[in-house]
A = this chain, B = another copy of it.
Amino acid sequence: MSDELLRALDQAGVRLTGPRREIAALIAKRNGHFTAADLIADAGKRRLGVGRATIFRLLDLLAEQGLVERVDLPDGRHAYVPCEPSHHHHLVCVACGAIAEVEDCGIDAVTSEASRRSGFTIESHRLELFGRCPNCRSAN
């Protein structure tokens, strides 16, 4: 359901125009991560007349609101994942692309240890975990 995305955008004071609704629907229809190219292809397939730029613009908006996040796949490609706006990290299934979110689970200990050893002040971090989701593991 794209309702959540739309509702969140609405609350952020973003206009809910036709193209935006359509793109939100495309995003909602995918579960797991997707690339910008996926969305562009989807939009093209159904002859929605939405332009590349509009898709990137909506992704930017969503990212600003923390509703979507960019992750870098191990192969270097970029993907976007829809997610909750709170701080968290992503677990990406390398087989099917499913995404799980994990909230902070002890990473602070790691950062403070790293900080102690290096003398750096740590301002932010990025953690991505890659593996196999329960489905893909059993199907294997």
Binding site for B on A (CB under 8 A): 70, 72, 74, 76, 89, 91, 93-94, 100, 102, 105-107, 109-111, 113-115, 117-134, 137
Contact = CB atoms under 8 A, between A and B. Distances in A.
A120 B133 contact: yes
A69 to B, nearest CB: 12
12 contacts: A91-B118, A102-B113, A105-B117, A106-B110, A107-B110, A110-B127, A120-B134, A122-B131, A125-B127, A125-B130, A126-B128, A127-B127
Contacts of A127: 110, 125-128
Contacts of A102: 113-114, 117-118
Given A109-B109, A122-B131, A126-B130, 20 more contacts: A72-B126, A91-B122, A100-B118, A100-B120, A102-B114, A102-B118, A105-B110, A106-B106, A107-B110, A119-B134, A120-B129, A120-B131, A120-B132, A120-B133, A121-B131, A121-B137, A123-B131, A124-B131, A126-B128, A127-B127
